[in-house]
Amino acid sequence: MPVLLLGNTACRGSLLDSGKYTDLTIICGRDRYAVHKAIVCTQSRFFAAACDGPFTEAQTGEIKLDDDHPIAVKMMINYLYCGTYEPATTFTLDDNSGVSTIEQLSSMLESEIEYLGANPNKKRRGMFKGEPLVSTPPTAQSQQQDLGFPCSGPNASSSNSHQPPMSKLVLHAKVYALGEKYEIKDMKDLALQKFKQDTKGGHTVGSLTEAAREAYSSTIDEDRGMRDAVVNIVLMAPCLLEEEMFRDLVRETELGLDLALHFTRDKRGRKRKRN
């Protein structure tokens, strides 16, 4: 019976809701999660080592994650118990007039190329004059900070009131990094999948830039999953490179090198095909 209980995500979620039989507390900022070693440690070698080894955490029954973002940690706890994580809401816009999808940005670029081809003596149009591709980030009134926690119960004490809102893409990048840090491979894979899926939605240049920066600042060179996803965003919407804030990101991170390597390999590939 216990094996069935631990293998059923619905049952695991109910355990977190009830707060019964907990034997470990995970602390991040002002958030405290009373959890079960049998659930957490069997999915994370990091937490298993912390609880089994000669460490302070094993003696106190508390693990502090002071360097991590509270909302990302909340999603990690959610994943460990529910097998997934679903933020209830991230920031929202009052309307979609200023938001472009990656596909729309790519279409805008193709339209510009066609325009310049038909009018070689004309100047470039608005979207390439340094004007924003999309509207500025939403105001505080139009942002929602509640990222939700479907499996939260009386033992999951947390508050998001002190946390600024973040886009889903940034959140997925943070959860991806936690998957690597705490050796939760399946969660890392899920975060990457969600990141790729959510790039199809509407985003501002600012949110795309922030997500790309998070992806590059929270991963090592050899960890290509999230970085390759960012490179793919630029390939789908190269007009992002016309935006000053995105160009700053390219200069400040290894995204510029990754793009250069991609274009070099692509050029060599086309040359070999011609030969």
Residue 139 token pair: 């105001």
3-class secondary-structure state, position 207: helix
3-class secondary-structure state, position 100: strand
Highest mean pLDDT range out of 98-102, 120-124, 263-267?
263-267
Task: Tell me the pLDDT tens digit for each residue of 10-26.
Answer: 657 677 777 788 999 99
Residue 55 token pair: 């460490």
What is d(CA 208, CA 233) in angstroms, rounded to the nearest whole number?
9
Question: Looking at residues 250-261, what average pLDDT do you find?
Answer: 95
Task: Tell me the pLDDT tens digit for each residue of 182-228.
Answer: 999 999 999 999 999 998 877 889 999 999 999 999 999 999 999 99
CB–CB of 228/195 below 8 Å? Answer: no
- C-alpha pair distances (Å), 161 with each of 56, 84, 231, 266: 30, 23, 34, 47
Nearest 5°: the CA angle 40, 41, 43 is 75
Q: What is the 3-state secondary structure (H, E, C) of 129-172?
A: CCCCCCCCCCCHHHCCCCCCCCCCCCCEECCCCCCCCCCHHHHH
The continuous run of DSSP H or E covering 107 comes out as helix 102-118
What is d(CA 187, CA 47) in angstroms, rounded to the nearest whole number?
15
Beta strands in the chain (DSSP E): 24-28, 31-35, 62-64, 156-157
Q: Which amino acid is at 259?
A: L
Provide the CATH number for the domain formed by 1-88+144-165 in this structure: 3.30.710.10
The full set of domain ranges for the chain reads 1-88+144-165, 100-133+167-275
Task: Tell me the pLDDT tens digit for each residue of 119-174.
Answer: 555 544 443 333 334 433 433 333 333 344 445 444 666 655 455 568 999 999 99
The total number of residues shown for the chain amounts to 275
